Amino acid sequence: MEKATFAAGCFWGVEEAYYDEPGVLSTRVGYTGGTLEQPSYQQVCTDTTGHAEAVEVTFDPAVISYGQLLKIFWQIHDPTQLNRQGPDLGSQYRSAIFYHNEVQQCQAEASRDALQQSGRYQRTVMTEIVPAVTFWPAEEYHQQYHRKNGGGCGF
């Protein structure tokens, strides 16, 4: 089993894009990339902690590859927006890939570069590709929020 961590706006919708994929064993939403230990949702929403709303995906690479997870990541958001997705504004909504090893780093960078060169976007891809650091799980009511409460983000 391996882990992948992605930030692409509101973590509810990002998680929804992954949790039913074959080979994805579990997902959890949380906060990563910042300086505050054990942040709360309210603290992250102040845009002062440095954390991004993110999703940690545990997957079986024999069933779904990291490359396939990256493909989903690029499809579910606009990676050219800096510190926002749709109506959500702030660095906690930034586009970021938090890699867990050098192979993930190389694949993430290659996929970003291929997307930039594809002509799909006229603007620069702003996605951060940085090492994974401590992942702080979000409060329980955020976990699989759309599954519990209905709704969706139109993916």
At 88-145, the pLDDT tens digits run 999 999 999 999 999 999 999 999 999 999 999 999 999 999 999 999 999 999 999 9
What confidence score (pLDDT) does residue 86 get? 86
Reported pTM = 0.94
Q: What is the CATH number of domain 2-149?
A: 3.30.1060.10
* pLDDT tops 80 at residue 64: yes
- Has 106 been annotated as catalytic? no
What distance in Å separates the CA atoms of residue 52 and residue 124, rounded to the nearest whole number?
20
Give the percent of the chain with pLDDT over 70.
Answer: 97
Alpha carbon separation from 111 to 16, 51, 107, 108 (Å, rounded): 22, 24, 6, 5
In the set 10, 45, 106, 153, the catalytic residue is 10
* pLDDT tops 50 at residue 155: no
